[in-house]
Amino acid sequence: MKLTFWYVRHGETLFNTVRRMQGQCDSPLTAKGIRQAENTASALRSIHFDRAYCSSSERAWDTAQILCRGRNITPVCMKGLKEFRFGDLDGKLISDFNDRIQPHRMADDWTDVGGENVEMFRERAEKAFAQIVEESEDGDTVLIVSHGSYFMHLMKTLLNYDQQEYIQRMFAQNRPFIPNAGIAVFTYEDGKYSLIREPVTAEEFRELQQKTVTFYYVRHGETVFNTEKRMQGWSDSPLTEDGIRQAEKTGRYLSNKEFSTAYVSTSERARDTADILLAGKNIPVHYDRRLREVFFGTMEGSRYEPRWKEVYSRLETEDWSDLSGENKEDVFIRLTDFLRDAYDAAEDGDTVLLVSHSILYIDLMELLFQTDRSSFSGSHAENPIPNGGICIFERTGNTYRLIQKMKAPEESE
């Protein structure tokens, strides 16, 4: 019988950030920890899991819930997968109790403070994995969501891996032993466990895949607010007759492109543009709020010419937060998360269509290629973001390559 185990550590927690001992006590995932779990869930999107198990600690259970979204599996909580038990030192600030913690770490024996030693851990880990093996079928791929020290002790016990050499190597590379939401892989075959991939982050996992995906980013056609020179972010207005013709022209140019899927801003002007672009094409279309234009807050709908100096200044910094809108950090986060998910959902060699907006395009160019924002305005460029324009870029692992800045169809390569 052979099984493949994908082991994921929980995301960052409150106790991780304040450096408290966190064994069988618990603390909640931070906002960063939730994003780490979502990042790993996306990276593992193409990996099929037949079943999933997690530590019964809430930080692991919450991580497992994120990893299992959209999959037809429910993670089974097991107390045998809980973190190594540190006894009375659990929950203590490392800085305050370091003189007591370090000797226990060196000996890896916490029994005198009510915790575990290696043999006690081995017994419960073997029991937990024996149950998982018994419940599995030959060839299954199993997700395990647990803890950092738990995996380090698996190295010493079930995996029979040289933990000390691993620790020294991680120290030399200035790497965490087990990163939050990190991914490791090991196998079980006829009673023997073998580690086949040491823990890596989601970003490192993507680099190992070396998958290349090409993206075509298209701006929507001209709208009523465009002609009236009104701020148009999350507010909306219909395509004009010219806007419809622009979308039709772009659609003709893209008619021979084989797109695997399309992602479209939820704003109607983008949805209508996408309908024109994709007429006659039978591909999956996903409407995603993360592709909406930048939110300009209370300036939405107002004419920008009388306030051009202020608008230009805000566009340069991308900060509308004092107007109840977004700032650059907000936009970069949603763009980064969207691009991650779209990339992870694609197959190697796929071409993906994106239908979105102009200012979001500027943010995209700055985020991915460090493009100077001023190059999109004034005398530096003429019509650098045309309605119906096309930008082309590709991603391999974590690296982006710009193929074409946005151009009208007749100017495109």
What is the per-residue pLDDT for 268? 98
Asked if 2-208 and 211-411 have one fold, the answer is yes
Q: What is the pLDDT of residues 274-323, one digit of tens each?
A: 999 999 999 999 999 999 999 999 999 999 989 999 999 999 999 999 99
Res 48: pLDDT: 97
Q: What is the mean pLDDT of residues 61-72?
A: 97
The pLDDT assigned to 260 comes to: 98
Write the CA distances from 13 to 21, 57, 333, 372, integer angstroms: 11, 12, 20, 37
Residue 209 pLDDT: 87
Q: Could you tell me the residue ranges of all domains in the chain?
A: 2-208, 211-411
> pLDDT value at position 146?
98
CB-count exposure of residue 302 (10 Å: 0-12, 13-18, 19+): middle
What is the structure's pLDDT at 177? 94
Cα 235 from Cα 296, distance rounded (Å): 9
Architecture of domain 211-411 in CATH?
3-Layer(aba) Sandwich (3.40)
Q: Is the dihedral of CA 146, 150, 152, 157 positive or negative?
A: negative
User: What tens digit of pLDDT does each residue of 99-121 get?
Assistant: 999 999 999 999 999 999 999 99
CATH topology of domain 2-208: Rossmann fold (3.40.50)
Q: How many other C-beta atoms are found inside a 10 Å radius of the C-beta of residue 215?
A: 22
pLDDT at residue 379, as a whole number: 44
Query: What's residue 378's pLDDT?
Result: 55
What pLDDT sits at residue 382? 67
Residues annotated catalytic, as ranges: 220, 293
Per-residue pLDDT band for 50 (boundaries 50, 70, 90) equals very high
Q: Which residues lie closer than 8 Å to 244 by C-beta, 6 or more apart?
A: 221, 272, 276
Report whether pLDDT(380) > 50: no
Residues present in the chain in total: 413
User: Phi and psi of 180, rounded to 5°?
Assistant: -55, 130
φ and ψ of 327, to 5 deg: -120, 180
